[in-house]
Structure 1
């Protein structure tokens, strides 16, 4: 009986080892996903092109895949089970929307927390941030910024009583929107108007509003020549973009991590805004923009 038990145990261990080896066998192809907006499409193509040109591994582009939860669940499955192997996520989204943790003021601490928790819970790895922070911000027309020397939210608060703020209704009512800005910065706008993003840009151009909420890397900010102000007291949480990838894929392809890290720190807010502008305003294809930027960095082959 003891001999049979040993044989059974040995067979079981062999099966486990074999299954682990199969799971980490070097894949011949990978899959990248992305959320349904311009920035994500450009970045996904950028990552795919980089891996294909440098490592010779085919990368399927599942674009647009869906929102945060859809992308995350696909990442947990992996491409072997019909999912994806990596995509670009944002620290603020990972921290507050996925992990349900409170806002963290320090961007480095936010990155540390999501890195630890995603690895512990799901064996998912956050690579070093790409360099831009697609957080909420406030924007004004360039001529107004020059007239009043507006560079920061604190500068804006100083002249806010003579200006009209345009934003969506949620931003105007949520504690982490205008009510919070009133408390932290002392902003007191002459009037607030609720309107959707497309209308806000036109309203800014027609001087129906003088201040609007926006995402820091929105390409439309360039089209309408708007100045993005600095959140000098760190009111809005950090949404640093970084590659989120399966740990088993990194083990199976040791050189993959170094290849993807070639983009870390290479895209600041202005650069990402410019790339989004090329798609949203100039009408270029996301793949075309991605390839051109890799060539600009000297990373294409």
Structure 2
């Protein structure tokens, strides 16, 4: 049994070492039953000492980007870990995935929720479009950086393009190939990030030969309102964005499967799992009960109804019997 746990104080370590030494100097008993009972008693005492004296890991720092779905994932992890006795703190990072990833590499943050597709393209700099079949390779590459992907949900197409229903009816738009044929008549609304990403607007323009009349650059949280008030005709949008439901928008099918699939999940520093191996099973519990539709509905409530992400996450976990 290894008692070299860095979270035990030095006094306790000395006590445990003393007890280990003491066990070795116990007089030899000829009666095998007595020896067996003594061995069991001593082993039990050592286990109790370890359980009482070695406190669980100090506060687990969960980093998160400025993204509603990822914030919900972070809140669910925080709530579930706290319920199991792990203090946690959520730290918002506005500078994007690269900064967040570097913080975990440097040990300043222990874990973060992310999308596998973005990890594939933005962190690993892979040129091939991410598909769920690449998850194993993604995990192997992260392991080389002393990181683990855990609690990964089933993959789905993360992004698509949306238009107003009147635009779809006017041009008979059902998929992105239809849109490409009339793109020269339409204005695209996009964030600078989407324009710079190789697996987003740039990829669609290349594969579908799209050529929009003009492009208006704006923040992603302005997309819906801009499309609604007709200042733009086309916007990139999460395929499971709950705000699309019961709206006057139409999402277009990626008929050439140009856009990457992706899955929400958690990236953890190896050291975190080495210190507390049971953390993995705790996070896997989340992926076992949540679906893309669940995440979509929670996203809608936080964005459209302005509900608090932590309250929404708590209610969901309670509905699944994971919190009291």
Shorter-chain TM-score tier: 0.7 to 0.9
1:80-229 matches, within 5 Å, as 83-109=108-134, 111-122=135-146, 124-131=147-154, 133=156, 135-142=158-165, 144-145=167-168, 150-157=173-180, 160=183, 163-168=186-191, 171=194, 176-178=199-201, 180-189=203-212, 191-197=213-219, 199-218=222-241, 220-222=243-245, 225-229=248-252
Q: CA deviation at 1:206?
A: 2.8
> Taking structure 2 as the reference length, what is the TM-score of the superposition?
0.69
The answer on whether the counterparts of 1:166 and 1:211 sit within 8 Å (CA) in structure 2 is yes
C-alpha separation in 2, matches of 1:40 and 1:101: 22
47, 57, 70: which one pairs with 2:77?
A: 47
Does the C-alpha gap of structure 1 residues 292 and 155 become closer, same or farther in structure 2, counting only changes over 3 Å? farther
1:252-291 matches, within 5 Å, as 252-264=275-287, 266-291=289-314
| Higher RCO (CA-CA < 8 Å; seq separation 6+) | 1
Partner of 1:42: helix, strand, or coil?
A: helix
Q: CA deviation at 1:147?
A: 7.0
Q: CA deviation at 1:241?
A: 1.7
CA RMSD of aligned residues (A): 3.4
- What are structure 1's unaligned runs of at least 5 residues? 1-16
Q: CA deviation at 1:161?
A: 5.5
72, 78, 91: which one pairs with 2:101?
A: 72
- What are structure 2's unaligned runs of at least 5 residues? 9-53
Q: CA deviation at 1:142?
A: 4.1
Instruction: Tell me, yes or no, if structure 1 residue 62 matches structure 2 residue 46.
Output: no
C-alpha separation in 1, matches of 2:111 and 2:281: 14
1:11 maps to what in 2?
A: none
C-alpha separation in 2, matches of 1:171 and 1:250: 34
Q: CA deviation at 1:227?
A: 3.0
Does the C-alpha gap of structure 1 residues 160 and 271 become closer, same or farther in structure 2, counting only changes over 3 Å? farther
Q: CA deviation at 1:33?
A: 2.2
65, 77, 81: which one pairs with 1:35?
A: 65
Instruction: Tell me, yes or no, if structure 1 residue 22 matches structure 2 residue 6.
Output: yes
Does the C-alpha gap of structure 1 residues 225 and 278 become closer, same or farther in structure 2, counting only changes over 3 Å? farther
Partner of 2:145: helix, strand, or coil?
A: helix
Q: How many residues end up aligned between the 2 structures?
A: 275
The more displaced of 67-76 and 219-228 is 219-228
Give CA deviations for 1:5-59 in whole Å, capped at 9, x if unaligned: xxxxxxxxxxxx876x437977344412212332222211101112233xx2233
Partner of 1:121: helix, strand, or coil?
A: coil
C-alpha separation in 1, matches of 2:225 and 2:122: 31
The answer on whether the counterparts of 2:159 and 2:239 sit within 8 Å (CA) in structure 1 is yes
Does the C-alpha gap of structure 1 residues 130 and 18 become closer, same or farther in structure 2, counting only changes over 3 Å? same
Does the C-alpha gap of structure 1 residues 42 and 170 become closer, same or farther in structure 2, counting only changes over 3 Å? closer
The answer on whether the counterparts of 1:150 and 1:156 sit within 8 Å (CA) in structure 2 is yes
Q: CA deviation at 1:194?
A: 1.5
> Taking structure 1 as the reference length, what is the TM-score of the superposition?
0.74
C-alpha separation in 1, matches of 2:124 and 2:297: 31
Looking at CA atoms only, which structure, 1 or 2, has the larger radius of gyration? 2
Partner of 2:92: helix, strand, or coil?
A: coil
